[in-house]
Structure 1
Amino acid sequence: RYVGVMERFTGLGLGEADGTVDMGSDSNGGMGAPSSVDIVWLSYLEKKFYRLNVKFSSELQDKIRQKFRTKYYDWPAKRYWAFTGFVINMLPKGHVWLYVDGIGRRELVCDTLVGREVNVPLQDFDEDGYRYRKTLDAFCEGRLGDYTWAEENFKRNGLSDGLWDTYKTKYNYEIEFKFEDEKAVLDVDYLYRFLTGEFWHRDNKPMPSVLPRVREIQAGWEVGTTIYDGNFYFDEEEIIKGYAEAFKAKGASGKLMIEVSKYNNWFTIYLLVSGKKYPLTKTKIHVFRTTPQHLKEEKWPFYNNHPDIYSGDIHYVGE
């Protein structure tokens, strides 16, 4: 049976609930795993309509079904969750990525689907938009007015099929913190976000050994009774070039190292592959410190190397 999309959002970024189907919302206790997609959408930047009407391969259906059946562990809550959302993410030039989504986790399950360009009368697609804007060009320009940063991004960078291939490229590496202070202990919960829009909190089993480029890390650590909460935002151009250089040898494996100084106010970040370091010096970092005394100055970052840009304003070309 067909199920309508529960939520529709524009401009939120890769994997961010752009067409989420809530798989647990059925009054009968949930729905079966999706086996096909039929969707029409308008790319405001390209001023083109696309349609994707596809039945999933048996391999993809099995993969999605297995994801919904497999639970994952939440360290802070000390409980297991299951994926409940199915995200259909429309990218430029007709590309469609599919994700499974749940509390504290999102995973990309398919990145190879491409819709075809179709002709759709604006009046049939958006009756109100046709009434007020009359033409497709005017309608798209009006809608882009709500996403000025996206339009500016397009003017600077254009649209490239190769960008999505770069984003989804995976490498064999681990992420490791190294503390100069031997008393420092990494917290039980942390968050890793990747260029693909995927993210993970800590699980009770090892993370996948093959991962995309990391985009953001949120991690806490304790030194005695003092708690540090760190946020690391990686520079897009630097990680694209850095990963490609570090892992250029076939079969290369390595680590993303985050070294924390004794006083928790200096960080050295690099890729370590075959004994060679590839520095990532453009990472934006801020850290909050919490002490038992709850000092007034703890309202502000203990360390911040990007005071001129708010973390919510850090965007990537492919968002």
Structure 2
Amino acid sequence: MKLGVFITLTLSCQNNNQMNEKFEWGETISCPPGYPVDVYRGGLQSVDGGFTSLYLGTHSGIEGWGSEGRSMSDGKKTVPNHLHVIWLSYAEDCFYEVDTDIDYEKMVKLFKQGYYTPSSSASRPEPFKEKYNRIIVGFAPGGTVVVWLAGVGRQIEIGSYQGKKATIPQDQIDQLDYPIKNIFDPEYRKNILKNPGIVPKEIQEENKTQPIPFGLWDSYRKKYNWKASFKLPDNGISKKIIFYYYNGEREILFGQSEINKYVDIPSELKWNNLKKPPIPKELKISWLNNNILYVGEIAFNEKEIFSAFEEVFREHPEGKAELIIRVNNAQDDASILLSGNGKEIWIKDSVIEIFDTSKY
């Protein structure tokens, strides 16, 4: 056998083995609050013929864009490389279809790597390995589709895709059985949007006066060169930082006390690693001060935080910035400043809560 043929066959075998490799995961769908969806048909497809349906019932999205819904088929399966779904957008009263390849190689790499996360156990303080176990497919108005890979405390965007409006032939509808046939009933669709368990009353009222913000969920995906900086009083030292981003991603990062203790923590999991994340929606930080553990939580005002980032990076889109969180001496409040590219903008409308855990 010639060497070239042997190499080709070897690579082919390796590729086939990778395509057949299985990981533990379950499927779920997501949508933004106020914009419920129902998958009519379709799901995730694998090269080996595997298929995982995304027909999972009505999803409300109450928990937020990127949040998980129900799952029907947790187990060891091959990784999908294709997405083909037809879904109903209740708020738009129309169907969309997406038929696209998805980033198989990226998902396989992440499934194999897993990730480290800080421990919350006093008896086992060492960082421990977690595995990704969810593939989430999000559907937003305008036909926006996003795929995430998620695990405990971590969610990574795999890709964004664009669906097209679809029409379901009447003869196909006539052959359907209930309950799936319900989604073709105009009264049923209206009742879904009036159901406070699916669309909360306050969102129903907002949607009456505001148009659907098409393109909003694509804008969430914009990323900037920034990092957070924490100014803690006395001898305070950060332990763990959790970021929730508007684009649906989230991550747990190791604080300085953990970095000092465990030298092998990957750089991308360190709190002070400058990278290019999206805009934060919420962050949580825990820190130690005189052997007392404090926990701070910040929920950003969407209009304010987006406006601040746009202003700081307007003239220097590839510049760098710091989001500086300075905790006061009483350790019951904090100030927030976005600084970079010659500009400083105070973030004043966030909801800030700080807890002294020794009191609970």
Which TM class, normalised by the smaller chain length?
0.7 to 0.9
Q: 1:19 to 1:253 in 2, by over 3 A?
A: farther
Equivalent-residue separation in structure 2 for 1:162 and 1:126 (angstroms): 35
* TM-score (norm. length: structure 2): 0.71
Equivalent-residue separation in structure 1 for 2:175 and 2:60 (angstroms): 19
For 1:120-167, what per-residue CA distance to the aligned partner results, in whole angstroms no more than 9, with x for missing partners?
A: 666667724756x9x633111211213134433433432233312321
Secondary structure (helix, strand or coil) at the match of 1:62 reads helix
> In the TM superposition, what is the alpha-carbon distance from 1:250 to its structure 2 partner?
3.0
Q: Which residue of 1 aligns with 2:320?
A: 253
Q: Which residue of 1 aligns with 2:221?
A: 168
Equivalent-residue separation in structure 2 for 1:100 and 1:21 (angstroms): 17
Q: 1:66 to 1:120 in 2, by over 3 A?
A: farther
Write the mapping of 1:86-97 to structure 2, written as runs, cut at 5 A.
Answer: 86-97=135-146
Secondary structure (helix, strand or coil) at the match of 1:229 reads strand
Q: 1:6 to 1:139 in 2, by over 3 A?
A: closer
Letter in 2 for 1:185: I
Equivalent-residue separation in structure 1 for 2:310 and 2:205 (angstroms): 27
Gaps of 5+ in 2: 1-48, 121-126, 255-264, 269-273
Is 1:70 the equivalent of 2:127? no
Q: 1:214 to 1:18 in 2, by over 3 A?
A: same
Q: 1:118 to 1:241 in 2, by over 3 A?
A: same
State how many pairs are aligned.
Answer: 281
Q: Is the 8 A contact 1:94 1:115 kept in 2?
A: yes
> In the TM superposition, what is the alpha-carbon distance from 1:6 to its structure 2 partner?
8.2
Q: 1:93 to 1:257 in 2, by over 3 A?
A: same
Is 1:82 the equivalent of 2:131? yes
Greater Cα shift, 101-110 or 65-74:
65-74
Q: Is the 8 A contact 1:196 1:212 kept in 2?
A: yes
For 1:172-200, what per-residue CA distance to the aligned partner results, in whole angstroms no more than 9, with x for missing partners?
A: 00111112x2311212x221000011100
Q: Is the 8 A contact 1:98 1:108 kept in 2?
A: yes
Equivalent-residue separation in structure 1 for 2:339 and 2:279 (angstroms): 14
Query: What percentage of aligned pairs have identical amino acids?
Result: 21
Secondary structure (helix, strand or coil) at the match of 2:142 reads helix
Is 1:214 the equivalent of 2:265? no
Equivalent-residue separation in structure 2 for 1:54 and 1:6 (angstroms): 18
Equivalent-residue separation in structure 2 for 1:110 and 1:48 (angstroms): 23
Q: 1:87 to 1:182 in 2, by over 3 A?
A: same
**Partner residue of 1:111 out of 160, 182, 193:** 160
CA RMSD, 1 decimal: 2.5
Write the mapping of 1:34-73 to structure 2, written as runs, cut at 5 A.
Answer: 34-56=80-102, 60-73=103-116
Letter in 2 for 1:43: S
Query: Between Structure 1 and Structure 2, whose CA radius of gyration is higher?
Result: 2
> In the TM superposition, what is the alpha-carbon distance from 1:105 to its structure 2 partner?
0.4
Q: 1:111 to 1:18 in 2, by over 3 A?
A: farther
* TM-score (norm. length: structure 1): 0.80
Q: Is the 8 A contact 1:95 1:115 kept in 2?
A: no
Equivalent-residue separation in structure 1 for 2:176 and 2:155 (angstroms): 30
Q: Is the 8 A contact 2:283 2:299 kept in 1?
A: yes
Equivalent-residue separation in structure 1 for 2:301 and 2:177 (angstroms): 38
Equivalent-residue separation in structure 2 for 1:141 and 1:86 (angstroms): 30
Is 1:143 the equivalent of 2:192? yes
Secondary structure (helix, strand or coil) at the match of 1:3 reads strand
Q: Which residue of 2 aligns with 1:311?
A: none
Gaps of 5+ in 1: 299-319
